[in-house]
Structure 1
Amino acid sequence: MAQNLNQQIPKVRYAVFSTIMPLAGGVMACAGYTVGRWGAAAGSVVYPGLGFATGLLTLLTIVPMYWIGVKRTGAVTSLIVVEYPWFCLLWILWIASAASAASAASVLDGISNNLAESLHPVTAALAALAFIGWLIIMGYSIYLAVYVVKARLATGSNEVWLSSVDTYDWDAALGGGAAGKGVKTEGVVVTPVITTAPQFPDQYPPQHPQYQPQYQHQHQQPQYQTPQPQYHPQQQAYQIA
């Protein structure tokens, strides 16, 4: 079955970014409410500050990372070599926020006073949102890592790390191997073309059947004829005196 990774992977990235943004806003809202309810004692509680910092850091980086990549092709913030490590860092921050809030929610659940009863549902919501965000970021990080490693092994080039998810030609890299790697530029895929020169068999010496000169060397020996004396004994008379 033919793959259409050039549309699939960017759509997954867009869905992750679109989901993480409201989750980060929700975590910040819950953390802000918790800090307000704790009042002066908020400094002794870890989870509200960690959750607020995680949500704020996510919004301050994810939003520019996405919009700069849309407005400017090949921006440094959109390169996979920058985006993937940052998502791994966010992965750690979100799971830490979720674990901290879940631990605090379990403690508040055993306290019966007005403050604890008002903070427990908000803290539980903060933990739930943080866990959902962690699962999404973790899933996307693993998903992206699988295709990046496959493209790297298929092409034998680090070009995939220096490209963005939206501009890299995933279909050519994973479908054609080293001969199919390329980067999409405004809808046009630039791929190397390999041509093979025609092969002609070598002939030594060259054959020219239509022209075969013939050389004939004729050596004629000169003929020398030596006159032979003719003797006619009947015509010569010898007189002996």
Structure 2
Amino acid sequence: MTDWFPVSKGRSGALVWRGDGVYRKDGPPADIAAEAARLTWLAGQGFPCPAVADHTPGRLITTALPGRAGDDPGWPAAMRPKLAAGLGQLLRALHALPIEGCPFDHTLTQTIAAAEHHAHTGQVDLTNLDPAHTGWSADRLLRQLHETRPADEDLVVGHGDPTRSNVLFTDDGSPTGVLDVARLGVADRHNDLAIATRSVGSADVLAAYGLSRPDPAKIAFYRLLDEFF
């Protein structure tokens, strides 16, 4: 029998446990099912991510990937540009996957509807907003979201939440894979870039990604959209 040791608690309330070469996530059944399906699909594309070892309602067990998360406090400051570049490289590879084969929809039609639902049901954490939105109400966030919605979407297979904590790296800063893919799906590339460049040095991420000048209006919009999740 595997001994489980607590690791973290996610924003959705999911609890993560570490075992011998495996991790266990306990959380809302719908969220766990969404992540299991996405991990299975992503692994089938040959993209580095944990493999699903077992999945039951509300519980997901995955294999452990090598490396440590980009937000590990043990990283020296001198490694930060290398980690940022590694994140940009990983996103470039993910966004190169063909969208035609991806069965998961994270386009604005879906995400804005979900944002509206979260706003109307009190699921927006107003105590943890970006500095640009500090003090805003859910209604104000939602009005701004509708007013600044982009007219078009540059679609790719996106991770949905590519923060430092959701990417693992070797000791030399090379990325080994992604975690927490419950929001993976077809979306505008700026959704990932907005979150990634907020998490680490934007210049290094963008240089490695190969897009030196992303659309600033889209970056602002997708950071606003992230406040609802």
Using structure 1 for the length normalisation, give the TM-score. 0.24
Name the one with the larger strand percent.
2
Name the one with the larger helix percent.
1
Quick check: which has more Rg, 1 or 2?
1
